[in-house]
Structure 1
Amino acid sequence: MSPAIALGFVGLAIADLAWYLTNQPLPSDGSIADLVDYVFQILPAMVAILLPAILLTRHPDAARRAPVLLFGTILFASVQGLIILNGELQEFFASVSPPSAELPFLIPAATVFNVLVSLTTAFGVAYIAVGLSQVRRHEDRGATLTVAFVPAVAMLATMVGVISVGQIDFGDTPMSPTLAIYLGVSVVLGVIRISAWTYLAAVATRGWLADEQPASGWGLGIVAAGLVIAALALVNLGGVIPLTDETANSLYGIAIVLAYGFGHLALFAAFAVGLPALDGEIDGESDR
């Protein structure tokens, strides 16, 4: 059954790629930078959808031996479907909950759906982290400082988020309760998202320090989470330190896209090398 499920996710990844190529074609006069951006825009989505496939390929009985981890990868993969659905439902959202004259950019139904997408992403990453921690076989070793990772990053993200929101120029738009709630929710969602990836980084670090196998898989997990955290941090800092130079702004955007894309690629590589070694496996070798 597991091979069939894995193939199903491969099929979904191919379908997602086809949808992307059809709906967002690469401009014929695009530069090399545009090509890089185009490829790395779809890369995280492809990786997310393929995570359950690679996990089930390396560990066919993951549903029994690592159910929380498998659930996390499936939840993370489902985000891509929600993103596509979100785009297709924009007109419907506008019809059932039209924006107000004061806030023409804010469609209530679409905002609620975006919150769902953000929370699904964060919970998917968090469940992956919890699943990895549950299948560990060794006690922590020298990992005391990792306990402070999540709260420290959460506090920094909150401060940066609040400062970033405070610098937004709304022009003549008054600060209504609705707008205040919207901005507050945006900050909270940003904090939750980066906290989830930080938790994954902490779990991977503790596993690597405890000599969990395969060591390369846990190490790649650290790299993956670290790169994504860096990308999210750059996004948040962009609102605090705006770049006026067009070239610098373009390079800044490319750095974000590359960090986010390579982070997801490293996460895929971590599972591809056998992360995590389950009970009964020797030196990280999976039960293929």
Structure 2
Amino acid sequence: MMLALPFSVLRHGWRSVRSGGLPFFFAVLMTALGLFSLTAFGMLLWNFRSVARTVGESVAAVAFLDDRIGEQGAAAAEEVRARIALLPSVGGARLLTPEEALDRARRGLGSADALRGTAGLQMPWVVQVVPLFSLEGDEERDVLVQRLGAIAGVAEVMHPTGELRRVDALMRLLNGAGLFLAVLIALVVVVVVSNAVRLTVLVRRDEIAIQKLVGASDAFVALPLLLSGVVQGVLGAVCALAALAAASSSLAQVARVALSGALGAFHVQAPPPWMLALVVVAGAGLGALGASLSVVRFLRTA
């Protein structure tokens, strides 16, 4: 007896799904397209955030040593490097000989005209400094540069603060775009599912009226229709994940070509399991919300 009500609700819910017809499948298609777009953007944003989180560690500050240190030899340069490595905000310090520093500078220039301009150029001893992973914010970076410049034997310090600021600004832009896209897709999915369930309600209006006459409660009438909306959302989410799996290699190739130049080798990793589960939960929630709008409106006028 206790299981009769849940089975009855499930049976009527399945009937609502079957009677949905073309509007039901259209709602599933629109949900799948919306969640596919949002999931693809979220996957790229998650990968980009992982790269941006470590860009401060992978891009080193550079301390150019005084010419007098070069005249004193490798031992004096190593002593300066050791003092730099002892700073609390330094994660690593690597000493480069003048030849190694010049070779790196030439590789960074790339073009033949720029390389010809380096003929006869002499570089000092260089210490490549990598900040700790926890080093964040412009103030902390400025403090690091000041501490490096205060060490005896350091002539000049260069740090790519401008590049890091551009990465931070790009992250804020992407987060804002992702939020706007999520709200827009959520509204579209809710409206489409709501209209699909409303058409189902119109098809079953006489049946629902008979149920009300024999004493069916509003909850008994509403639950199967809500279940229909949840099924639409879950099916749309599953279709979106299947499409994402099929197109993941193409998306990864496009992202690799577009972003590798600015951030080094950009590799797109598969989304984590929690993101996939979140897509399914979001589909079910949006489907339930869209269905509830139509059901509440119908029950108020019934």
TM range (shorter): under 0.3
Larger strand percent: 2
- For the pair shown, which has the larger CA radius of gyration, 1 or 2? 2
- Normalization by structure 2: what TM-score? 0.24
- Normalization by structure 1: what TM-score? 0.25
Higher relative contact order (CA 8 A, sep 6+): 2
